Amino acid sequence: MFDELLDIDPADQSAMVQGIAELERLKAAVAAGQARLTAALDAARRSAEEAAGVPFRKRGRGLASEVALARRDSPSRGGQHLGFAKALVYEMPHTLAALERGVLSEWRATIVVRESACLDVEDRRRLDSELCSDSDALLGVGDAALGAKAKAIAYRLDPHAVVDRAAKAEAERTVTTRPAPDAMTYVTALLPVAQGVSVYAALKREADLCADARSRGQVMADTLVERVTGRPADEPVPMTVNLVVSDQMLLGAEQGAAVIAGYGSVPSAVAQKMIMDTVTDERSRATLRRLYANPDSGALVAMDSRSRLFPKGLADFIELRDQRCRTPYCDAPIRHHDHAVPHSRGGATSAENGQGLCEACNYAKEAPGWRVTAGVGENGTHTTELMTPTGAHYHSAAPPMPGTPKIPRSSAEVYLNGQLLQVIAA
């Protein structure tokens, strides 16, 4: 059927539109099927762990990460997928049916589930029936309108639960950052509505009063930086930023990508400007650390320690090598320096057995049935192999350092490089 939908006469535009609509319906039906399988997997896992004597609170531990890996998604999204599936299958049959028929997309079904999360099971089923039992009433309803309807029903069914949810959400205020295109950064603040509106209004007022050549957005961004750091936007802020760049890129002999630890890749020209601005500023305290990388793969050389905890130098090395959480599809910042083979089972505190993980992934791999092996390949690249309780295998390799070898090396050079690596690692 899928091939038939793609095999359409290019001159028949009407058939193309119908094909797009049918494929969208199939996407929704597939999402419903994934939800059913996910809920069934959760039930099977918990039942098996109950029979094995696993305490109630530990049952299902790590399953969300397993679902995320199967869907090639981040672990945080895995938890959302699992909660979404269980809510649909066990508590919201009308929403699930609308998803299966393609009346709701997966995202719109997620909106309904999200807005009903504060209700108890009986009220959640009432909301499900009132909002989604009539499929025709859902046609043409946008995301915002659907969310507003769900919120209104939830407040009518249990106003106290909605108010309590809002009060609890205030405790979850936070600030996050993630890379943006063109060597920019998104800094996002999750704030209570009054504070968020006040922050935006203050920045907007500053833009209204400013009469220089900057755009409104530029004035608001500069004002935000100045008020948070207490310094002018064009004045450096004292903090440590680890920038990894090859010597050839630093000297301008070649172009490529440098790496800012905790951020990601930036063009080497941008890195050069950052370095130049720093070393020419008398107020800065720039330092240089040399990292040796394998010329073939760009992999950093290993380090070792007898300590159970990773010493600071080794921990810094792992962070620079791995850059982000090593779990496949997870882009979260590194929070834990983890032993791939646990120290309690004889795992060494070394660069080879070490990996950088986010907090959630580190806890997930401690669940029964998870196994990780680590090693260094012939080209010096650090690799890990992750095995889930169901026997699925996932491979991870540390990213290469900036600078790609362009000249093939002779056998003598390969041998000498190997000897040098051993000396440095000793």
CA distance 300 to 421: 10
- The token pair at 149 is 């309807």
For 76-127, write each residue's pLDDT tens digit: 899 999 999 999 999 999 999 999 999 999 999 999 999 999 999 999 999 9
CB atoms within 10 A of CB 423: 9
CA distance 354 to 374: 8
Residues 6+ apart with CB under 8 A from 307: 349
For 138-194, write each residue's pLDDT tens digit: 999 999 999 999 999 999 999 998 888 888 888 889 998 888 887 788 999 999 888
Average per-residue pLDDT for the chain: 84
pLDDT band, very low/low/confident/very high, at 237 (cuts 50, 70, 90): low
Judged against a pLDDT cut of 60, whether residue 318 lies above it is answered with yes
Pairing assessment for the beta strands 382-387 and 393-397 based on DSSP bridges: antiparallel
Q: Could you tell me the sign of the dihedral formed by the alpha carbons of 234, 238, 239, 242, in that order?
A: positive
Question: Position 425: which residue type?
Answer: A
DSSP 41-64: HHHHHHHHHHHTT--GGGTTTTHH
pLDDT band, very low/low/confident/very high, at 303 (cuts 50, 70, 90): very low
Q: Tell me the average pLDDT across 186-207.
A: 90
CA distance 23 to 105: 12
Q: pLDDT higher for 280 or 201? A: 201
Judged against a pLDDT cut of 80, whether residue 305 lies above it is answered with no
pLDDT band, very low/low/confident/very high, at 426 (cuts 50, 70, 90): very low
3-state helix, strand, coil in the chain (%, to 5): 50, 15, 35
Cα angle, residue 318 at apex, residues 351 and 362 outer, rounded to 5°? 95
Judged against a pLDDT cut of 80, whether residue 317 lies above it is answered with yes
Residues 6+ apart with CB under 8 A from 358: 75, 325, 327, 330, 332, 333, 334, 335, 336
Judged against a pLDDT cut of 80, whether residue 231 lies above it is answered with no
Q: Tell me the average pLDDT across 260-269.
A: 73
Instruction: Identify how many contiguous H helices and E strands the chain contains and give both numbers.
Output: 16, 12
- The token pair at 146 is 């659907």
Question: Position 164: which residue type?
Answer: D
CA distance 180 to 221: 15
pTM for the complete prediction? 0.72
Say what the pLDDT of residue 267 is: 79
Q: Tell me the average pLDDT across 341-363.
A: 88
Q: For 393, phi and psi rounded to 5 degrees?
A: -115, 140
Q: For 282, phi and psi rounded to 5 degrees?
A: -65, -20
Q: Among residues of the chain, what percentage have pLDDT more than 70?
A: 83
